[in-house]
Amino acid sequence: MNAHINRDLAAGIVDCYSEMGGAPATTDPRHADFESINGLLERVEDEVKTEFTTGLVGDIDRLAGGLDDLAAMWKVRRARDIAWSNAEVLWHLRSLPELKNKFFAQLDSFTGFAGRGLLKPIVIVSS
């Protein structure tokens, strides 16, 4: 999800608008379609989550109740909002290829940073 949302989604939005016409903007009716996917993600989250929450992760998930789910979905919604904003920026940078490439390289760096953060275990030290 990290690479898809933080990197590929913005580029995909730009590609779609290039092909279909128009420009990515929150006022465009296609933005509402884009946001409707958040509801789909919420509906399937529980199904997918049960496949990944086993063992210790499952125990922690059960103890956290619904709090972790709210935080996770908020993060996905927020990340998708940022992807849309990044698509708007990329759209306006189309005529400035060097700047567009630099911006996209920063998306790559951020995606790598986020991915490494997701893979690094968090150690909680209690006193």
For every residue of 42-87, DSSP letters joined together read HHHHHHHHHHH--HHHHHHHHHHTTHHHHHHHHHHHHHHHHHHHHH
Domain that holds residue 18: 2-119
Residue 20: inside a domain, yes or no? yes
Please choose, from the candidates 90, 88, 111, 87, the residue with its C-alpha nearest in 3D space to the C-alpha of residue 1: 111
How far, in Å, CA of 77 to CA of 39, rounded?
Answer: 9
Residue 124: inside a domain, yes or no? no
The pLDDT tens digits along the chain (127 residues) read: 667 787 889 999 999 999 999 999 999 999 999 999 888 887 777 677 666 666 766 666 667 666 565 555 557 888 899 999 999 999 999 999 999 999 988 888 877 766 665 555 555 556 5
Q: What pLDDT score was predicted for residue 33?
A: 93
Q: Report the domain count for the chain.
A: 1
Residue 83: inside a domain, yes or no? yes
**107: exposed, middle or buried (C-beta count within 10 Å: 0-12, 13-18, 19+)?**
buried
Residue 127: inside a domain, yes or no? no
Residue 41: inside a domain, yes or no? yes
